[in-house]
Structure 1
């Protein structure tokens, strides 16, 4: 089952956070991309799903050379290829090509050795809704005001800290590009839930700092999607904002 309405609203924000000097995150919303800067406020757009549409966040690998170049390349490739992606196999093929391209670029340019990016998002079509990810950025389904994680974390499991907040690790087991010699295997699946109220995609600058329960409370209390995205960002900033923060909130229109 695809997007019955044929249209989605997307509310987006990407920000460098409170500590990092550079924003290595990037966003793609259909033909639109945002990379290489910070947004002062959430932006909202209405997108038709008359042809396949990709929504995703990409998180350049922090501490690696040119992570912002890797994430920007990933979102640009998804934007230009989106209309031709007819299903999950095509999405898998595209992610594999992006992985090869980033690796080839780092081989040809020594200063970019090891650069890579995570990615998490949705492929929306009239026939089906497909989620995908590589790394630890996340995609959630929103149903009954609860968050249900669709993406599969490519990172070791963690337990909450003494204060109940999420704990994080800087280690991920795979990415697009990066230094690992193990072949990349993207996670791709179909969201068959007909009662989804929307989807939330984010980099770990949000999910490592704000618990699912707190995110659910923010989504439930917010008076608008713009307010929800702003308050999610503020929640991460209040508990250090130590990483880049990117958020996409999408809903059937």
Structure 2
């Protein structure tokens, strides 16, 4: 395999009135009200950036915040080559959302973000907020992002997040560097991770067919009530040697 394959989906869900989630996959972005599964292939040339953003529920302009953040990332990520570049880009996106939010009608808007930047030898995983990134390797699913969320009495993350893009104070992005070893990745908003069990997500990604995995995630999320907008991207990346 010498290309990056992506299967993506975003949807309003069964309760919310508008979709405050948004996806950025390479140069493609989407914030559909009614989702359909989209499959894409991209050149394995670095950098390749994919991200999911979840506009803050209950805040003014949440749908705008996610679009603004991903638009900023799309602009600045074309020349990313190091983890520091990713950090700087996230700070620029935070400032962009903050400035748009100075409009009195939009004050307080914000968004989470979680994604990956594929480089020649590594994959940079990044997040701010509680949208998630999982690595997928031979059917084994592992969360590799870090939830910015207050924990409950049993140590589980709640829906109350501790940082987001659009805040006045400087953000502290979570950045981890992973070898480009052929592992795949699942990006998702908490409309997926909050509705599905860890076992359910593992079962969904065990299939080698992205279309089947996507349908399993969509069906499980809707059967659980789809109380929030829900978005995800399944990404297959060739190893460093295979992609050259």
TM-score, scaled to structure 1: 0.88
Q: Which residue in the other structure is 2:163 paired with?
A: 174
Distance 1:68 1:146 in 2: 33
> How many residues are paired up?
238
RMSD in angstroms over aligned alpha carbons? 1.9
Residue 224 of structure 2 corresponds to residue 215 of structure 1 = no
Structure 1 position 223, deviation (Å) = 6.2
Contact 2:54–2:66 (CA under 8 A) maintained in structure 1: yes
1:21-58: per-residue Cα shift (whole Å, max 9, x none)? Answer: 1000000011111125332x211000113231111100
Match of 1:237 among 219, 222, 228: 222
Q: Which residue in the other structure is 1:123 paired with?
A: 117
Structure 1 position 239, deviation (Å) = 0.9
Contact 2:69–2:96 (CA under 8 A) maintained in structure 1: no
| Greater mean alpha carbon deviation, residues 142-151 or residues 198-207 | 142-151
1:114-140: per-residue Cα shift (whole Å, max 9, x none)? Answer: 001000010012132110000000000
1:183-218: per-residue Cα shift (whole Å, max 9, x none)? Answer: 21111110126352x110000000011111111112
- 2:171 aligns to what SS in structure 1? coil
Residue 2 of structure 2 corresponds to residue 13 of structure 1 = no
Distance 2:152 2:145 in 1: 16
Could you tell me which runs of 5 or more consecutive residues in structure 1 were left unpaired when the two chains were aligned: 161-166
Q: Which residue in the other structure is 1:163 paired with?
A: none
Residues 209 and 124 of structure 1, relative CA distance in 2, 3 Å threshold: same
- 1:176 aligns to what SS in structure 2? coil
Q: Which residue in the other structure is 2:178 paired with?
A: 191
Match of 2:42 among 44, 47, 68: 47
Q: How does 1:23-38 map to 2 (within 5 A)?
A: 23-38=19-34
| Greater mean alpha carbon deviation, residues 77-86 or residues 207-216 | 77-86
Contact 2:10–2:32 (CA under 8 A) maintained in structure 1: no
Match of 1:201 among 157, 182, 187: 187
Contact 2:122–2:180 (CA under 8 A) maintained in structure 1: no
Structure 1 position 170, deviation (Å) = 2.6
Distance 1:159 1:55 in 2: 34
Distance 2:85 2:2 in 1: 21
Could you tell me which runs of 5 or more consecutive residues in structure 2 were left unpaired when the two chains were aligned: 239-244
Residues 43 and 159 of structure 1, relative CA distance in 2, 3 Å threshold: farther
Q: Which residue in the other structure is 2:210 paired with?
A: 225
